[in-house]
Amino acid sequence: MTGSDVFGQIGLHVTKNGINDNMQSKTANPVRRIVFVTYPGVTLLDVTGPLQAFSSANNTEVANGKQHYQIEVASPDGGPVGTDCQVELSSIPLVKAALDPIDTLIVAGGEGVFDAVEQQDTVDWLATTSKGCRRVASTCMGSFLTAAAGLINGHSVTTHWRQVDELKRRFPDIDVKRDPLFVRNGNMWSSAGVTAGIDLALAMIEDDMGHEAAMQVAQALVVFFKRPGGQAQFSDVLNIQASETEGLFGDLHAWIAGHLQSDLSVPKLAARIAMSPRSFSRKYKEKTGMTPAKAVEIMRVDAAKRALARSDLQLAKIAFNAGFSDEQRLRRAFQRHVGVSPLAYRDTFGES
């Protein structure tokens, strides 16, 4: 299926250039009907990324010429929906979308979600309609809308890493996961930022049609298959760097990353930037939200993760290179920060 075939299913308007391609294809006897819930200000790729994956699944050898997915885009009022990048998506009204059975309901993300959660009719529609769906999901910031509808109370969810704290603040009873690409709780799914929606779609396709079909879709889209849901959406080291917005410790972080086998105790680090150990510890925690010791351990674990994924070095050598005194200390640190053993991580993410 070509790009134009896919956009023919959803309708494409490029408002900047005045192009209007409003073709809408109807599929006969769909096996599974997938409805994307959108709203003004939705992120385009949060919709079209997973949509492309499901559309491509219809064109795999496993599909054998049969239509496995029918895809529709819906919005509160129907009609053209403005996205975050001057492209509009054709949509049907939510009330019309609910007239026929929905297999999978996917709530897309985007900055417009904060207005959408204030629209009680939309929230109520989602709460009611989701009860008849086999599967409900959110991509990126769509989790704010599923949370507002009460669909993930008491469950785990993920969202874009920039919005994790805000989602926690608004919905304190929800277990918000910062790291995973996607999270599954029974029939409730959620994915992290933007392209992680493709990872979520591939996992759903694998559930529905099998491993080979999902692999063929990944090959067609030229994306990795597969980044399991437990893989971090964002580097731990970059998280440390991003948390320190003033850049006070930027050079120090770069030096630590290149000297993981060195003595990285508080006195040594403090001396490197001409501060007393007490002032350094206090200032560092104030600016990054963690102690220097924790940051060093995270950097060492991050280095070990890269080595486990990209090499076949023995664990003792990886531990030494990352600055751990022995394998046991690496294992304990890995369990604390990753939640699995180093060898289990290699089994999942290793290149071999």
Written as one string, the DSSP assignment of 21-65 is: E------SS-SEEEEEE--TTB-HHHHHHHHHHHHHHTTSTTTTT
User: Which is nearest to 42 in space by CA: 129, 166, 144?
Assistant: 144
pLDDT band at 270 (very low <50, low <70, confident <90, very high): very high
Q: How far is residue 86's CA from residue 12's CA, in Å, rounded to a whole number?
A: 11
Top-confidence residue, 234 or 1: 234
CB atoms within 10 A of CB 297: 22
Q: What percent of the chain has pLDDT over 70?
A: 84
Residue burial 239-261, b: 16+ Cβ < 10 Å; e: rest:
bbbeebeeeebeebbeebeeebe
- Range 236-349 classified under CATH 1.10.10.60: yes
Res 13: pLDDT? 35
Q: Helix, strand, or coil here: 212? A: helix
State the Cα–Cα distance between residues 231 and 229, nearest whole angstrom.
6
> What pLDDT does residue 110 have?
95
3-class SS of residue 265: coil
**pLDDT, mean of residues 248-256:** 86
Which tens digit of pLDDT belongs to each residue from 289-303? 889 999 999 999 989
Architecture of the domain delimited by 3-221:
3-Layer(aba) Sandwich (3.40)
Domain ranges of the chain: 3-221, 236-349
pTM of the model: 0.64
How far, in Å, are 34, 141, 149, 172, 173 from residue 169 at the CA level? Answer: 31, 14, 16, 6, 9
- Our CA angle for 209, 135, 118, nearest 5°, is 140
* Structure token pair of residue 142: 């769509």
Nearest to 220 by CA among 71, 58, 4: 58
Q: What is the pLDDT of residues 125-183, one digit of tens each?
A: 999 999 999 999 999 999 999 999 999 988 889 999 889 999 999 999 999 987 778 88
